């Protein structure tokens, strides 16, 4: 990729000292910004929660800092008064568990003796050997941490949002920005990288200071809000720690679609099929995605799979998200009520302040969390719901499903509520309107399919969740029968 200032440098003749300095600094910025890769894998659309943000927003491939203005965004007589954003952390390293499985698979390949290279298929023999030699870049300490690319994801998102909503992100309003994050490193670091992006927006060309000097209080860590799933007893007992709750995931792992891939991969890699299982196949697929997202290389791990395999492995990933974070069990989404209500408390407060002609105390609220934070919330709101549940047995029927996690929650995915104040409103209700953006595109409202809603209508549509969903009750385990108390 060529980025403007670099081209300028090459074309320039005898620059003055000042110009040279300016060019040098933009060159430095350029090399930082220049994506390490223009490598795309044919498998990229199937990486599920390990999808790169730019694969969902291809416009960003050529210029990741240019705002992608959705033509449906309100403008004119409606001005944004508040933005509440839920942001998934940027690109991350594999978890320690994934790294352990990868090492196991790699060991299996390295243990193949020369005797295992049965004569017959030279090209296939090549792949097993290539993978045995392909270095494992991943070490235990990396355990799910944010990578440099993930910092860029956040920095660039900040720059785009700041250009899209210049008044909200004005310097004056920066001091009123609120940042809430999950305690996980990758989320705290994502928040910091986002703020650095904003700093750059205010001081183009200067390198940002430490986050601690950024005149925006320390991030407030709130796991009850951003990792509500860890705090919901009913979810933990009935789903997370329940061996049978993910029945369909386990059944699909041993079902015909996965068995075909297992047999094929065993043949391609020349390892006994009994040494492989669905988890190892999945980690090979993830490694293809990690090598692409983190290192910008198309790794030989990708060569194991064709597109049909990728679709099956995507389904396996989606099945798990569906049963653990989506519509599979009601408690998955109900456990996010508090977060949903929290968003509306911010919006309510802004509306009240505006009605009293006071400045909005928190024009920008940023909340950093996980795919596991966003999926339950989107399910609670009724998005991406298929007519039939995703099961181990309806892979074919679900080929065109709505619930595709790669399209919904790639790295750096974001769900943004924009509250507008509209002039010339005929009724007081029309004064306040809302748009919801998912990954910077306007998300039609679940109740009307419109791209904008009166704030009152939206609250009315979600009345039940706003009024009758108390996490303390939803997350309580069904009472054990103890009649003795009542006697």
Ligand X SMILES: *[C@@H]1O[C@H](CO)[C@@H](O)[C@H](O)[C@H]1NC(C)=O
Q: How far is the CB of 477 from ligand X (least distance, A)?
A: 8
Residue 124 or 279: which CB sits closer to ligand X? 124
| Window of 46-54, 116-124, 424-432, 444-452 that interacts with ligand X by CB under 6 A | 116-124
Site residues for ligand X, 405-444, by CB under 6 A, read: none
Helix (H) or strand (E) holding 408: helix 405-408
Return the range that interacts with ligand X (CB under 6 A); candidates 50-58, 117-125, 148-156, 202-210: 117-125
Nearest residue (CB) to ligand X, 212 versus 357: 357
DSSP 8-state assignment for residue 236: I
Ranges within 15-44 binding ligand X (CB under 6 A): none
Measure CA of the first residue to CA of the last residue in the chain; give whole Å.
77
> Measured from the CB of residue 143, what is the shortest distance to ligand X in angstroms?
29
Q: With CB under 6 A, what is the number of residues at the site for ligand X?
A: 20
Task: State which of residues 58, 76, 120, 428 lies at the interface with ligand X (CB under 6 A).
Answer: 120
Rounded Cα distance between 468 and 461, Å, is 13
Map the footprint of ligand X across residues 42-101, applying CB under 6 A: 81-82
Q: Which is nearer to ligand X, 151 or 324 (CB)?
A: 324
Beta carbon of residue 67, minimum distance to ligand X (angstroms, whole number): 17
Report d(CA 273, CA 263) in Å as an integer.
6
Catalytic entry in 89, 201, 346, 421: 89
Nearest to ligand X of 34, 250 (CB atom): 250
Angle formed at CA 180 by CA 174 and CA 185, multiple of 5 degrees? 115
Give DSSP secondary structure letters for 352-377: HHHHTTPPPS-SEEEEEE-HHHHHHH
In the complex, least distance from residue 172 CB atom to ligand X, rounded to whole angstroms: 4
Compute the CA torsion angle 90, 87, 316, 142 (nearest 10 deg).
30
Residue 124 near ligand X by CB under 6 A: yes
**At its nearest, how many Å lie between ligand X and the CB of residue 100?**
27
Give 121 or 259: the residue with its C-beta nearer to ligand X.
121
Q: Where are the beta strands (DSSP E) in 33-177?
A: 78-88
Minimal distance, residue 385 CB to ligand X, in Å: 19
CB 242, min distance to ligand X, A: 4
Among 31, 62, 121, 355, binds ligand X (CB under 6 A): 121
Strand 414-422 relative to strand 78-88, pairing: antiparallel
Q: Which is nearer to ligand X, 63 or 240 (CB)?
A: 240
| Contact call for residues 446 and 381 (beta carbons, < 8 A) | yes
What stretches of 177-328 adopt beta strand conformation (E)?
A: 178-181, 220-221
Whether residue 106 lies in the annotated active site: no
Q: Is the dihedral of CA 97, 102, 104, 105 positive or negative?
A: positive
Contact between 176 and 167 under an 8 Å Cβ cutoff? The reply is no
Please, how many CA atoms are within 13 Å of residue 119, restricted to the half-sphere of its CB? 0
- Closest to ligand X by CB, 259 or 361: 361
484 touches ligand X by CB under 6 A: no
Distance in angstroms (rounded) separating the CA atoms of residues 414 and 354: 26
Footprint (CB under 6 A) of ligand X, residues 232-291:
237-238, 242, 244-245
Site for ligand X in 135-194 (CB under 6 A): 167-168, 170, 172-173
Distance separating alpha carbons of residues 271 and 275, to the nearest angstrom? 7
**What is each CA distance from 123 to 129, 298, 472, in whole angstroms?**
10, 18, 59
The pattern of x and - marking residues 305 through 344 that bind ligand X according to CB under 6 A reads ----------------------------------------
The answer to whether 483 contacts ligand X (rule: CB under 6 A) is yes
φ, ψ for residue 333, nearest 5 deg: -90, -35
> Catalytic positions, please?
89
Binding-site ranges for ligand X (CB under 6 A): 81-82, 120-121, 123-124, 167-168, 170, 172-173, 237-238, 242, 244-245, 360, 363, 481, 483
């Amino acid at each position: 990729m060529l980025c403007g200032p670099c081209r300028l440098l090459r074309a320039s003749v005898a620059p003055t000292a000042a110009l040279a300095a300016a060019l040098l600094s933009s060159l430095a910025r350029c090399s930082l910004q220049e994506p390490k890769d223009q490598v795309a894998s044919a498998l990229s659309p199937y990486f599920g929660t390990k999808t790169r943000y730019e694969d969902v927003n291809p416009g960003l491939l050529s210029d990741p800092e240019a705002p992608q203005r959705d033509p449906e965004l309100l403008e004119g007589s409606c001005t944004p008064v508040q933005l509440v954003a839920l942001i998934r952390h940027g690109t991350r390293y594999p978890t320690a568990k994934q790294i352990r499985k990868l090492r196991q698979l790699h060991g299996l390949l390295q243990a193949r003796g020369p005797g295992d290279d049965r004569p017959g298929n030279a090209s296939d023999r090549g792949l097993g050997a290539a993978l045995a030699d392909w270095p494992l870049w991943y070490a235990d300490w990396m355990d799910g941490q944010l990578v440099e690319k993930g910092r860029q994801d956040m920095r660039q998102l900040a720059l785009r949002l700041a250009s899209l909503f210049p008044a909200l992100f004005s310097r004056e309003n920066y001091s009123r920005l609120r940042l809430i994050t999950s305690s996980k490193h990758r989320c705290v670091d994502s928040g910091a990288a986002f703020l650095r992006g904003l700093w750059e927006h205010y001081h183009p060309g200067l390198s940002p200071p430490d986050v601690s000097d950024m005149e925006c209080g320390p991030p407030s860590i709130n796991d009850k809000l951003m990792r509500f799933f860890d705090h919901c007893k009913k979810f933990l007992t009935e789903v997370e720690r329940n061996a049978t709750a993910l029945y369909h995931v386990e059944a699909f792992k041993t079902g015909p679609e996965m068995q075909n891939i297992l047999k094929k991969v065993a043949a391609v890699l020349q390892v006994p099929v009994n040494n492989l299982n669905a988890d190892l196949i999945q980690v090979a697929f993830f490694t293809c995605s990690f090598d692409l997202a983190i290192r910008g290389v198309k790794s030989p791990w990708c060569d194991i799979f064709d597109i049909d395999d990728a679709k099956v492995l995507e389904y396996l990933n989606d099945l798990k998200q569906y049963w653990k974070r989506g519509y599979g069990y009601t408690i998955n989404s109900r456990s996010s009520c508090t977060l949903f209500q929290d968003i509306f408390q911010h919006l309510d407060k802004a509306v009240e302040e505006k009605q009293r002609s006071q400045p909005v105390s928190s024009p920008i609220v940023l909340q950093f969390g996980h795919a596991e934070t966003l999926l339950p919330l989107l399910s609670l709101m009724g998005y991406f719901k298929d007519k039939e549940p995703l099961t181990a047995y309806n892979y074919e029927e679900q080929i065109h499903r709505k619930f595709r996690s790669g399209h919904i929650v790639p790295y750096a995915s974001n769900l943004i509520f924009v509250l507008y104040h509209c002039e010339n409103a005929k009724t007081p209700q029309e004064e306040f309107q809302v748009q919801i953006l998912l990954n910077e595109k306007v998300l039609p409202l679940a109740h009307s399919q419109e791209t904008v809603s009166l704030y009152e209508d939206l609250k009315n549509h979600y009345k039940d969740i706003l009024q009758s969903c108390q996490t303390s009750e939803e997350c309580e385990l069904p009472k054990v029968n103890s009649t003795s108390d009542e006697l």
